[in-house]
Amino acid sequence: MNLDEQIYEYSLHIDDLLKDKSTTEELKKRIVDSLFVSYGARNADAVQISKRALLPSSGKIDAPIYYDQRKASVDVATYINGSMTRYLDYNDTYLSKEALHPSDNVPPLLSYGYSSNVSGMHVLKALATAYQVVGALADAYSIRDRGWDHVTYISISSAAGLGVLNHFDKSRFINTLNLALNNNISMRQTRAGELSMWKGCTAANASRNSVFASLLANEGFTGPSPIFEGEMGFFKQVTGNIKVDLEKNRIVRTMIKNFPVEYHAMSAIESALWIKNQLNGEEISKIHVDTFSVAHRIIVKDPEKLRPKTKETADHSLPYMIAYTLVYGEPNTSSFEPKYLNDPSILKLIDSMDFEVTKEYDEMYPEYLPVKISVKTKAGEQQKEVTVPKGHFKNPYDWRDLENKGHRLIKDPERVKRLVELGKNFDRSSTRDLLEAVNFE
């Protein structure tokens, strides 16, 4: 059976996975989390530029822009909402052979779900399918090692979720996959060197293209097939022959971010915070960091990480994030402003750092997220190891933790409370109820 058929057949039985109430609960948390972080990014430059470029907009079916009184064609709404969800690098994460952000699948399903006036429970089924597909692909193969970006997998998973959301038959479901993937294979240059605005918006573009594909497939439009096994298909061009196992529950192994930084830095932030609290203002002379290969490759090795010039590079720079935390404490959404990027006290600490990849930590990843930071001062040395940060699936968020995160991002207690309550009851309400609460003034 070809992979597109496997995905379709699996989607027909997604109800079985959601019989586990804890799995459904985790999905609801991730929807609310994505809405919280979107609020934090609503005024980001990339989001505002996108709005100026793409609005006004209308189409055959329209959807609301998050935290805005305007609507747009469902594909444009998906892109803008998706950019908000992803831009702060604060939405959830899945770590495996490929590291990615499963809640990038939320904006297309909420936007399309609003347009189609579907129930919250049906969106949860579609989202469960998307999470399972993207997690299975991440487990199967690391496309970044061949120069492709992980959002390519979001093209596949969001298309699968949209197929479920639309109750597509086999033909329309598979053609949504075909059309979504064929022209949307993304280069890893997005995350190499000095990072641009596109880093925070490329997943939104992938899901926008999936919405576009579903609109065509719904009317009987066909796409290149077989998209995975074909002579010039995905396996031949991108991954090689891989086996994808859809059965394992990946949803409960996704992780909510406790800080607005690249996930591989999460343990380092906790470690640096602990050390800062021990130092009592002592001057730091040397910092040594033990880490693992994947973290080193993504957030350490590039020379741009030593002098980040953009927000996008800074939140993907482990040297910067450790130095910021040791100087100022817990990072927040304002921690990547130019005044911090050029701060002499931060740059001095960056220059005092060295990094070592250890065999022990490589063997622990991705089941754990290990780091050890050692800081020397005239008074001696402080050292802290963290292997399971808050929000990791071994140390997960509960609803109270999520509500506290919402308060850090939204200075409106009533709005936070309303979104949490609607999220908790999403399986018994509608997509329109949720998005109307998002845009309530």
Q: What is the pLDDT of residue 283?
A: 94
pLDDT tens per residue across span 146-181: 999 999 999 999 999 999 999 999 999 999 999 999
Q: What is the pLDDT of residue 280?
A: 85
pLDDT tens per residue across span 189-243: 999 888 899 999 999 999 999 999 999 999 999 999 999 999 999 999 999 999 9
Give percent of the chain with pLDDT exceeding 70. Answer: 100
3-state SS track over the chain:
CCHHHHHHHHHCCHHHHHCCHHHHHHHHHHHHHHHHHHHHCCCCHHHHHHHHHHCCCCCCCEEECCCCCCEEEHHHHHHHHHHHHHHCCCCCEECCCCCECHHHHHHHHHHHHHHHCCEHHHHHHHHHHHHHHHHHHHHHCCHHHHCECCHHHHHHHHHHHHHHHCCCCHHHHHHHHHHHHHCCCCEHHHHCCCCCHHHHCHHHHHHHHHHHHHHHHHCCCCCCCCCCCCCCCHHHHHHCCCCCCCCCCCHHHCECCCCCCCHHHHHHHHHHHHHHHHHCCCCEEEEEEEECHHHHHHHCCCHHHHCCCCHHHHCCCHHHHHHHHHHHCCCCCCCCCHHHHCCHHHHHHHHCEEEEECHHHHHHCCCCCCEEEEEEECCEEEEEEECCCCCCCCCCCCHHHHHHHHHHHCCCHHHHHHHHHHHHCHHHCEHHHHHHHHCCC
Give percent of the chain with pLDDT exceeding 90. Answer: 97
Domains and CATH numbers, the chain: 3-257+400-438 (1.10.4100.10), 263-386 (3.30.1330.120)
pLDDT tens per residue across span 319-342: 999 999 999 999 999 999 999 999
Q: Is the pLDDT of residue 77 over 80?
A: yes
Query: Mean pLDDT for the chain?
Result: 96
Q: What is the pLDDT of residue 441?
A: 60
